[in-house]
Amino acid sequence: MAAVFALACLTPAATACEWRTTPEAKESPRVVSAAPSVTPRTAPVRTTGRGPEPPETGAWLGAWVKPEYHNPTGRAAALAEFDRAAGGRLGIAHMFQKWNDPFPGANEEAFQAQGKLLLISWQGTDTRSTVSGIYDSLIRQRAEDVKAFGAPVLLRYRWEMDRPNLAASIHSPEDYVAAWKHVRGIFTEVGVTNAGWVWCPHADGFAEAERRAAAYYPGDDQVDWLCADVYPGPEWASFSNRMDHFMAFAQKHPRPVIIGEFGLTQEGRPGQRADWMREVGPYIRKHPQIKAAVYFAAKQTEKPLYDSTFGNDPESAAVFREMATDPYFSPPLPTR
C-alpha cells in the first residue's frame, strides 16, 4: 500500500466518497405522525453530559482514510498508516454508514482497538418517512447497538442537510428537525448515553443566504456538538472566511464545535493548497470553542473529480504533520 499520505478517498458515506455519487433514498412521503420529544436538558458547558466529554483545552485531530481494502482490517490499516505519516497522534477515526448499515460493528471495533475516539456519520433517509414511524424498529436496533458498544462515540446524523441536492429527501428545515427529534427520541427511550449528537451542516450554508443552514438547527436541548464541513471550493474561499460565518452562529450556542470534514479538494496554483492549510491550526487555536477537527482526504476518479490527498503535495503534507504533532491537537481522549 502506498504511503497513506497518498490517501485514496475521504468522503461522507459508507466510504468517504460514496455519498457524493450514490443516489439518496427515494422513499415516497408518508403520513407524518407527531415526533417524540426529548426531555430538555440543562447541563452547561458539558452540553448534555452525553457522549464524550470535550477536552478542557486543545482540540482532537482525526481523519477518514479510504482504504485499499474495504473491510475492517483494511480500514484500520489505512488509518494507522495515515496516522504514522502524520506523526502518530491522531485521536479520532471517522466512519461513514448508510441508513441501512448495521453499526457499531467490526469496523468500529477495529478503530477502537487502535485507541481512537469514533466519529460515526449516519446517512439518514427521507425525513417524512422517518417521522412516520416506518423505520422505528431499525432506529431502535441502532440505538441498542450503540448502547451495547459502551465506548463514547460522536454520532453525526444526516450531515450537510442544507445541501440543495438533498432537498428531495430533506424536504424542509421543519421536516429535518422533526426527523432529528424522532430519531434522537428513540435513542433517549433506549437509554443511550454514550453517543454525543453532532449537528453538521456545510459551512457554505452560513455564507450563502439561500442555503439557510441555521434554519435546520434542532435546538440546544437536542444537540451535543455543533459542526461544519469546510472546503476551499473552486473559488478558493479561505478557511477563515468560511469558518467565520459558521462561528458567528456557533458562538451563540453553548456547545463544543467539531469540524466534521476539512480537506484540499482543489488543485490550486503552486503553494495555494499549503497556504490554505496553514490557516487551519491558528484559527482553531484562536477559537477554543472548537474541540475537534477531522481531515477528509479523498481521491475521486469519477465525477465529481477531486483529490484531497497529500500524495503529490509534500508541502501540504508537512503543514498537516506540523499541526498533528502540536501538543494542542493531541489532548487526552475520554476515558469513559
Domain membership flag for residue 29? no
| Angstrom distance (rounded) from CA 68 to CA 82 | 12
**Rounded mean pLDDT, 286-293:** 98
Domain membership flag for residue 33? no
Backbone angles phi, psi at 2, to 5 degrees: -65, 155
Average pLDDT, the chain: 86
Per-residue pLDDT at 15 exceeds 70: no
With cut-offs at 50, 70 and 90, classify the pLDDT of residue 298: confident
- So what's the pLDDT on residue 311? 81
| Angstrom distance (rounded) from CA 150 to CA 47 | 19
| Angstrom distance (rounded) from CA 238 to CA 223 | 27
Is residue 47 within 8 A of residue 277, CB to CB? The reply is no
SS3 111: helix
CATH of the domain at 309: 3.20.20.80
- So what's the pLDDT on residue 268? 87
**Rounded mean pLDDT, 270-289:** 97
All residues at 6 or more sequence positions from 311 whose CB lies less than 8 Å from its CB, including other chains: 2, 3, 5, 6, 7, 299
With cut-offs at 50, 70 and 90, classify the pLDDT of residue 111: very high
**Rounded mean pLDDT, 301-327:** 89
Q: For the chain, what percent of residues have pLDDT higher than 90?
A: 74
Domain count across the chain = 1
Domain membership flag for residue 335? no
Backbone angles phi, psi at 51, to 5 degrees: 70, -165
All residues at 6 or more sequence positions from 154 whose CB lies less than 8 Å from its CB, including other chains: 51, 52, 92, 117, 118, 119, 120, 195, 196, 198, 225, 258, 292
With cut-offs at 50, 70 and 90, classify the pLDDT of residue 165: very high
**Rounded mean pLDDT, 288-308:** 87
Domain membership flag for residue 32? no
Per-residue pLDDT at 18 exceeds 80: no
Per-residue pLDDT at 29 exceeds 70: no
Domain membership flag for residue 207? yes
| Angstrom distance (rounded) from CA 108 to CA 115 | 11
Nine-digit cell string for 169 = 429527501
Nine-digit cell string for 329 = 491537537
Provide the residue range defining the domain that includes 163.
4-24+42-329
Which range (28-37, 102-111, 190-199, 234-243) has the least confidence? 28-37
Per-residue pLDDT at 261 exceeds 50: yes
Domain membership flag for residue 37? no
Which range (232-236, 302-306, 316-320, 328-332) has the least confidence? 302-306
- 302 by Cβ neighbours in 10 Å (0-12 / 13-18 / 19+) ranks as exposed
Q: How many CB atoms lie within 10 A of CB 332?
A: 10
With cut-offs at 50, 70 and 90, classify the pLDDT of residue 267: confident
Is residue 228 within 8 A of residue 246, CB to CB? The reply is yes
